[in-house]
Amino acid sequence: MTEVRTEVGMWIEHRRAGARGGEKMAVENPATEETIACVPRAQAADIDGAVEAARRAQPAWRRLPGLDKAKLLHEVASRIRSMRRELGELMTLEGGKPMIENLDEIEWTAACFDYYAEVGRHSRGNAIPPSFEHQVNFTVKEPFGVVVAIVPFNYPLLLMAWKVAPALAAGNTVIIKPAEQTPLATLELAGAFETLPPGVAGIVTGVGEEAGEALVTHRQVDMVAFTGATATGKRIMRLASDSLKKVNLETSGIDPFIVCEDVELDVAARGAVWARYLNAGQVCTSAKRFYVVDAIADAFVDRFTTLAREIVVGDPRRPETDMGPVISGEALARVRQSIERATREGARLVAGGGRPKGLDRGHYLEPTVLDHVRHGGSATREEVFGPVAAIVRVRDVDEAIALANDSDYGLGANIYTNNLRYVMKAMEEVKAGTFWVNDPLTDNEAGPFGGMRQSGIGRELGEEGLDAFREPKHVHIDYLQERKNYWFPYADRAWE
């Protein structure tokens, strides 16, 4: 795999395009801190062009029969799989995830397009019982129009697919804005989207304060789907409120992970380590606060710490690497500040916290373990988007459930136990959009994904994810024209 400095254009109506004003932005390899490419930095005029193209294409795409849409979406999935190697290399260079994790992401991305190809062609609406005789009532679910998909850096293709595949299946056209840190693989994906009619899917690059806000506020954009920080999601809501633009938001999470006294220690510890340090801890649903029952806390922390120290940190291009860098110098600084704040509050740093030996360049951090974290402190209230585990010791499962549920967020939650009572009590009480039992972070295209509380609005995946990109219309038909007895004049009706 070689690093090549190059310039890559945006993709609108099957053509590459630069920013009209010539503005560009650099893409950095977080493992080496070197610039690997430049992409356009779109401004308002560029956004206008992209939206106009999507608007022109939408009526014909909406009318295309579902079977034909399904064939095209299956072809997108097939092309994604055929591009597996080059996409994986680009994702590794620009994002810093180990190659194996990126190859997994590409398959999940293709599977999402296959899933919505099938779901979209058999779901349009419902027949409902009429109120009177010789009438027919039904609903049809219609696309919004032009949808903007604003995608984060951590899973640039998968979280794009969770928005774009159902939006297209529903009959919308889509403009994709990848994160400024990771636009290259998404731009490369234009090769898969070439199977779609021009204008149905477009890709623009730029920064949030410019391109992102121009897309959110554009009068010809009908809906915004976003994954990212809660603060940004709230700003999108405020900007969209002026026109009552529809939004679908998946925002921050500080997911709890409960470890009960009856666990198989090695399995639970290994699952916990993977759930925290996957993608260097840069996963919305990664386990960030661990509530461990006192009876096994010492043994669990020892095993967890041993496994964390065994993680191979290094060049994400190497097959032996388990964990790469965080995305940027700014992100690394924020994570370090979080560790310092937690230790000032009384947490014990039992592993990690520094730069791995032998890695002089790149935004690397050792897998970090904080024990005896105080619930209510910063590590349990603020999302740490990096490889830091915060372990809170609790008396029993009831206290663990109460503390896990004591949060402003509710994206995901986990429990490890063989006790059905513990499972059911936690599942019923903890506010979270996804609840995992003995199997953290596993997704299913057929199951809805999204957050409660300040972790978001709406759902992706499943049929709920398709409904997020369409709105119902009630159709009422009376197939006999006759005067109704409840019309004017009311003098003809007896009411006493």
Q: What is the largest CA-CA distance in the chain?
A: 93
Q: How many residues does the chain have?
A: 496
Under 8 Å between Cβ of 284 and 254:
no
157, exposed or middle or buried, with CB in 10 Å at 0-12, 13-18, 19+? Answer: buried
Under 8 Å between Cβ of 392 and 289:
yes
Classify domain 255-437 by CATH number.
3.40.309.10
Token pair, residue 443, equals 């997704």
CATH superfamily of 6-251+455-475: Aldehyde Dehydrogenase; Chain A, domain 1 (3.40.605.10)
Angle among Cα 8, 10, 14 to the nearest 5 degrees reads 110
d(CA 135, CA 156): 48
- Amino acid 2: pLDDT: 43
**What is 418-468 written as a DSSP string?**
S-HHHHHHHHHHS--SEEEESSTT---TTS-B--EETTEES-BSHHHHHHT
- Of 371, 428, 401, the residue nearest 260 (C-alpha): 401
- Amino acid 451: pLDDT: 97
Each residue's pLDDT expressed in tens, for the chain with a length of 496 residues: 444 457 899 999 999 999 999 999 999 999 999 999 999 999 999 999 999 999 999 999 999 999 999 999 999 999 999 999 999 999 999 999 999 999 999 999 999 999 999 999 988 999 999 999 999 999 999 999 999 999 999 999 999 999 999 999 999 999 999 999 999 999 999 999 999 999 999 999 999 999 999 999 999 999 999 999 999 999 999 999 999 999 999 999 999 999 999 999 999 999 999 999 999 999 999 999 999 999 999 999 999 999 999 999 999 999 999 999 999 999 999 999 999 999 999 999 999 999 999 999 999 999 999 999 999 999 999 999 999 999 999 999 999 999 999 999 999 999 999 999 999 999 999 999 999 999 999 999 999 999 999 999 999 999 999 999 999 999 999 999 999 988 999 888 887 6
pLDDT digits (tens, 9 = 90+) for 172-230: 999 999 999 999 999 999 999 999 999 999 999 999 999 999 999 999 999 999 999 99
Active site residues: 250, 284
- Amino acid 7: pLDDT: 85
- Amino acid 157: pLDDT: 98
pLDDT digits (tens, 9 = 90+) for 254-279: 999 999 999 999 999 999 999 999 99
Name the residue ranges covered by the structural domains of the chain.
Answer: 6-251+455-475, 255-437
The backbone torsions φ and ψ at residue 168, rounded to the nearest 5 degrees and listed phi first, read -70, -45
- Amino acid 386: pLDDT: 98
142, exposed or middle or buried, with CB in 10 Å at 0-12, 13-18, 19+? Answer: middle
Under 8 Å between Cβ of 426 and 415:
yes
**What is 147-176 written as a DSSP string?**
EEEE--SSSTTHHHHHHHHHHHHTT-EEEE
